[in-house]
Chains A and B, each alone.
Chain A
Amino acid sequence: MEKTINLTLKVWRQNGPKEKGRFETYQVSNISTDSSFLEMMDILNEQLVNENKEPIAFDHDCREGICGMCSLYINGRPHGPDQEITTCQLHMRKFKDGETITIEPWRAAAFPVIKDLIVDRTAFDKIISAGGYVSVNTGGVPDANAIPIARPAAEEAMDAAACIGCGACVAACKNSSAMLFVSAKVSQLALLPQGKIEAKRRAKAMISTMDELGFGGCTNTGACEVECPKSISISHISRLNREYLKARFSE
């Protein structure tokens, strides 16, 4: 049965990267508990447009948990109060009638706010372009089973490849560390024969780019793993440490 709730929203508003931000309070009423969090944001924006006010800027694209575009730090947790989901998959039934919801952007020196709730996540792209790929010559499609890969390795590489680059790990980490993201990107290649050739260069380049961009270091609190919508395991971080240390010590 459909139920509706009324909510008070405390939303971070910031006009531009260099502007000073502030929290604004809004009321929304008759929100269906079947609607998604982003639909609720749409309703609020509609309301703001009708009042001739500037709508709230927030990131979104696929709205089905696969693109990694949506963000939002909701009531103290990235992607809000649910497990293994992105904000676009968050249902309003997770909230109570009359509740106050605080909505903030990801907070990290490496993810500066562009506007309101939108942060600049190109830092992740820079880390990927530093080494998150395998170099192959163009040509015909290689034989599918020419290179045998053990099943456990294939499974673990696939698990790591589930990362959608949303940045919730950075948002969740008290150090704004990007280690879970980088470890997923290093693991998905380090586990496969195709990725082993450039393994050393990759680990070094991606970590040094990560450091340069101002992400913090890992202190193994494990918050990233819990908040990650794709449940990327922190065991990948241990593999990244291993790959990096091997690369440095063999210099």
Chain B
Amino acid sequence: MTKIKLAEKTIELIKSVCTQFGNKESELINVLHQIQSKLGYLPAEVQEVIAAELNMSVAKVYGVVTFYSFFTMLPQGEHPISICMGTACYVRGGEKVLHEFKRHLGIEVGQTTADGKFSLSCLRCVGACGLAPVVLVGEKVYGRVSPQQVSKIIAEYQEGCVNVQTA
């Protein structure tokens, strides 16, 4: 097993979240949710501390982290890009949009660009099917995205570029 090498402060944070949920195994999902919202991601070392605090095996924690696509083990880019793969978005070309993002950024789903600017993930339905296919960059929603628009969207967030409006 990897030895835990987290900052004292991070360990304290994890412990306090666990205590807040009574150190109960049944609260694992809530604990993970809270900690990811604070740290941005859930690396192995963090899962190990959580497992110890909730008195469960780290394999089970990892099992839950990998079951829900919401949880991530990789640090998010400065601008996390999520492409909806719900049925409506998929049918209306979500996959082609995803492919363009991969091509432009040179990364796979779940990865972050070397400069730490962008990360790529897929989402299940975000409930905006009328706008399919939908792309989220940070909190911002882009609707009816076509593969051709992908480079423009990325450019919006590149340094020195002015905002380009999309439909």
Question: Are A and B interaction partners?
Answer: no
Name B residues whose Cβ lies closer than 8 Å to a Cβ of A. Answer: none
Name A residues whose Cβ lies closer than 8 Å to a Cβ of B. Answer: none
